[in-house]
Amino acid sequence: MPHLPSALHIRPDQIGAVAFGVVATVGVVTYIFWNRRPSAEEVERQRREFLATRGRITDAMLIDTGLDRRVETEPTGLNLEDSTPDVLRYQYKVGGVGYESLQDVARLPEHVRHLRVDLPIQVRYDPKNPGNSIVVAESWSGLRVGLGSGVSATKGKGLQERLHPRD
């Protein structure tokens, strides 16, 4: 390359090596940026959204909200009637097969406030994997909520025992 100053004489194989290094670096940075793994919270949100939009609906029975245990452990003076459960345990049947499942609802408190356990609920499940189910999501809820007469979530365990005694 006679037109370059003597200090910048670069051989063609050096240009190729530098170009390969730049392309490789850009490729690795792009791969890391675009292929980062979603967090566990994001995976759970995507699962809920999939089931809320494409899942089949069936009837279910709410078994436990966990609030009855919180009544025993929380200091007195707290209004647990307005508390929200962290976990919902429920039972449902699909094709004659019974399923019992838990859903963590700690990140969905606005959807489980004033929960009623004296009424049936609805579950959305994946028809290809009926064990994959939800009771509540950001865009859908199978729960019966509301104020009014009925059994609150903290008193529901006694009702469930009367309705469905365990042998």
User: Per-residue pLDDT for the chain (167 aa), expressed as one digit of tens each?
Assistant: 556 666 566 777 788 888 899 999 988 888 888 887 888 999 999 999 999 999 999 999 998 887 765 555 555 554 555 578 889 999 999 999 999 999 999 899 888 887 877 789 999 999 999 999 999 999 999 998 665 444 444 444 444 444 444 54
Q: Which two tokens stand for residue 66?
A: 């966990």
CA dihedral angle for residue 114, residue 82, residue 63, residue 144, rounded to 10 degrees: 0
User: What confidence score (pLDDT) does residue 134 get?
Assistant: 97
My answer on whether 24 and 85 are in the same domain is no
User: What confidence score (pLDDT) does residue 149 get?
Assistant: 44
My answer on whether 93 and 31 are in the same domain is no
What is the spatial distance between Cα 66 and Cα 15, in angstroms, rounded to a whole number? 67
User: What confidence score (pLDDT) does residue 157 get?
Assistant: 47
My answer on whether 86 and 156 are in the same domain is yes
Number of domains in the chain: 2
What is the spatial distance between Cα 116 and Cα 148, in angstroms, rounded to a whole number? 9
User: What confidence score (pLDDT) does residue 127 get?
Assistant: 96
My answer on whether 131 and 72 are in the same domain is yes
> What is the DSSP pairing of strand 121-126 with strand 97-104?
unpaired
My answer on whether 16 and 93 are in the same domain is no
**Residues spanned by the domain of 103:** 40-163
My answer on whether 87 and 27 are in the same domain is no
My answer on whether 29 and 46 are in the same domain is no
